[in-house]
Amino acid sequence: MARNKITYTARKLIEEGMRRGDRVRDIAYVLNLSQTAVYDELRRGLDENGDYSADLGEETYAANIRRRGNRTKRVRAEAG
């Protein structure tokens, strides 16, 4: 299953939707993401007050990439 990086713009839309009180299902539909992806992002960007912050989500994402390194697709060598 292919995974796409959630962009900062999408994070801002998630933040706005949560502030308005939109359902996660509706946010996921608008952004063409799964509900699980939105919930994972919400967990990633929770601040000390329990509110979602797009900036914190972006910082956490970048810190996780630095910690584990960037995963690249491995190309299988063709048998010849």
Would 71 be classed as within a structural domain?
A: no
Residue 73 counted as domain residue: no
Q: Residue 77 domain-assigned?
A: no
CA torsion through residues 12, 15, 17, 23, sign? positive
- Residue 70 in any domain: the answer is no
pLDDT on residue 3: 61
All residue ranges of the chain with pLDDT < 50 are 1-2
Is residue 37 a contact partner of residue 6, using CB atoms and an 8 Å limit? Answer: yes
pLDDT for 21-39, tens place per residue?
999 999 999 999 999 999 9
Q: State which H helix or E strand residue 66 sits in.
A: helix 54-68
Name residues whose C-beta falls within 8 Å of residue 14's C-beta, 6 or more positions apart in sequence. Answer: 27, 31, 38, 41, 42, 45, 52, 54, 57
| Residue 79 is assigned to a structural domain of this protein | no
pTM: 0.79
pLDDT at residue 43 in the model: 95
Which amino acid would we find at residue 68? R
Tell me, yes or no, whether 34 lies in a domain.
yes
51 in any annotated domain? yes
Q: Return the pLDDT at 1.
A: 42
Q: How many domains does the chain have?
A: 1
Residue 14 domain-assigned?
Answer: yes
Domain carrying residue 56: 8-61
